[in-house]
């Protein structure tokens, strides 16, 4: 258990006090070195926007969010995980599609997020959306420097909110990047901020440290695929966020962890055979929820062997499948950890963001790669520009 919201069961392993000391020291140092970068994970973080700015936009019922990678994935994760709390409509433009599905309604606000202000996909999408609208309001979140986007925002008289230059895209979910849209959607930004609370929680720290150590050992022995067995439809985007965090932070210098997301129980019927009997190059994360409302099966048409489904709801069936799969993994000695979500709220997703960010940074340090850069992403950006000239 991290807090009352999540039950975490770590990989089965022998505890080693020397390992604990070593990783704990790295963590202590990191919390100092990355103090600024991680500042948005704490409640005393100062945003570059005022509540009055948000009030100006509170009557907009639809938001078009335009961005790429770390500029949008965090908000998508939040909106997916907490969709039952969100009353407004949000459209995500997170890829280049040869035909944009334009959903322009009255009262639409465009929110454009790009740290660099020069991302081709974001600029192309914004251009087409802008051209399709008669009247619109725009908020641009970008670094305080001259860029295409700051020039365009000035031309459009858009509100410009600073994206702090020391917070990298994939670490920005709890900064202006994810919290401004969250607030516009009626969520409570303060509740997402759990770093201070969690790092004072001994149990959380122990779990984090042993978890990092286990993954590091897996990777060192060639188990380099992190397979997420996700039993919660509303967490799909959380794991897309995790996928980017892991891949971009650790995939360099011929090292890395390959994050794979499996939709369960669907993938029992496609990938599970490979997971169970294929090459031993994976470690697994089970992710599911309990206690949530779900459709009840009708007893009327259940008989014979399927009488076992009488008085059951879909969540009970999903849980049974998750537990059964875990038992098989245990029997076959396949390494796995598990997360069980007890309540779905801002704190829960804030804790998950914090856990995975700390895990990634610590793994980066142990693997001796810089978890904060993405040199090859930049490479593609430069090469694409050359192709378009």
Q: Output the smallest distance, CB 260 to ligand PA5, in A.
A: 19
Nearest approach in angstroms of CB 88 to ligand PA5 is: 23
Question: Peptide bond preceding 60: is omega within 30 degrees of 0, i.e. cis?
Answer: no
**Chain mean position to CA 127:** 27
Considering beta carbons, is residue 80 or 248 the nearer one to ligand PA5?
Answer: 248
Identify the burial level of 321 via C-beta atoms within 10 angstroms of its C-beta, where 0-12 means exposed, 13-18 middle and 19 or more buried. middle
Which is closer to ligand PA5, CB of 78 or CB of 209?
78
Task: Pull the structure tokens for residue 375.
Answer: 């040199």
CB of 201 to ligand PA5, least distance (A): 28
- Of 191 and 252, the one with the shorter C-beta distance to ligand PA5 is 252
Please calculate the CA angle 182-188-190 and round it to the nearest 5 degrees.
110
CB closer to ligand PA5, 100 vs 342: 100
Q: State in angstroms the smallest separation of the CB of 28 from ligand PA5.
A: 26
Closest distance to ligand PA5 from the beta carbon of 203 (Å): 30
Q: H helices of the chain, where?
A: 17-33, 51-56, 73-81, 120-132, 148-156, 176-184, 189-192, 195-199, 202-220, 236-250, 272-277, 314-331, 346-367, 375-388
Question: Applying CB under 6 A, which residues contact ligand PA5?
Answer: 68-71, 114-116, 119, 122, 168-170, 248, 374, 377
- Of 68 and 90, CB closest to ligand PA5: 68
Shortest distance in whole angstroms from residue 221 CB to ligand PA5: 29
Nearer to ligand PA5, 243 or 263 (CB): 243
**By the 8 A CB rule, do 71 and 114 touch?**
yes
């Amino acid at each position: 258990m991290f807090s009352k919201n999540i039950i975490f069961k770590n990989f089965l392993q022998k505890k080693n006090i020397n390992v604990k000391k070593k990783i704990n020291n790295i963590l202590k140092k990191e919390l100092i070195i990355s103090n600024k970068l991680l500042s948005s994970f704490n409640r005393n973080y100062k945003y570059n926007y005022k509540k009055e700015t948000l009030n100006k936009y509170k009557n907009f019922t639809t938001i078009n969010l335009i961005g790429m990678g770390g500029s949008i994935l965090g908000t998508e994760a939040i909106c997916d995980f907490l969709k039952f709390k969100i009353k407004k409509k949000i459209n995500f433009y997170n890829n280049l599609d040869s035909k944009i599905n334009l959903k322009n309604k009255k009262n639409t606000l465009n929110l454009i997020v790009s740290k660099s202000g020069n991302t081709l996909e974001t600029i192309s999408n914004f251009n087409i959306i802008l051209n399709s609208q008669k009247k619109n309001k725009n908020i641009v979140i970008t670094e305080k420097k001259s860029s295409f986007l700051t020039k365009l925002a000035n031309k459009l008289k858009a509100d410009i909110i600073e994206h702090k230059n020391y917070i990298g895209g994939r670490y920005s979910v709890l900064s202006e990047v994810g919290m401004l849209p969250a607030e516009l959607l009626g969520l409570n930004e303060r509740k997402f901020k759990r770093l201070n609370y969690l790092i004072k929680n001994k149990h959380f720290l122990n779990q984090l440290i042993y978890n990092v150590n286990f993954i590091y050992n897996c990777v060192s022995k060639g188990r380099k695929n992190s397979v997420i067995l996700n039993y919660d439809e509303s967490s799909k985007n959380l794991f897309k966020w995790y996928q980017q965090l892991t891949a971009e932070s650790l995939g360099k210098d011929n090292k890395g962890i390959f994050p794979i997301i499996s939709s369960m129980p669907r993938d029992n019927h496609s990938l599970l055979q490979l997971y169970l009997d294929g090459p031993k190059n994976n470690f697994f994360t089970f992710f599911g929820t309990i206690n949530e409302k779900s459709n009840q099966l009708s007893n009327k048409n259940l008989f014979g062997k399927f009488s076992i489904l009488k008085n059951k709801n879909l969540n009970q069936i999903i849980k049974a499948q998750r537990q059964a799969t875990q038992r098989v993994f245990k029997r076959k000695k396949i390494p796995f950890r598990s997360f069980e979500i007890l309540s779905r709220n801002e704190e829960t997703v804030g804790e998950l963001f914090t856990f995975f960010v700390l895990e990634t940074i610590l793994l980066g340090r142990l693997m001796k790669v810089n978890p904060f850069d993405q040199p090859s992403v930049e490479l593609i950006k430069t090469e694409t520009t050359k192709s378009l000239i």
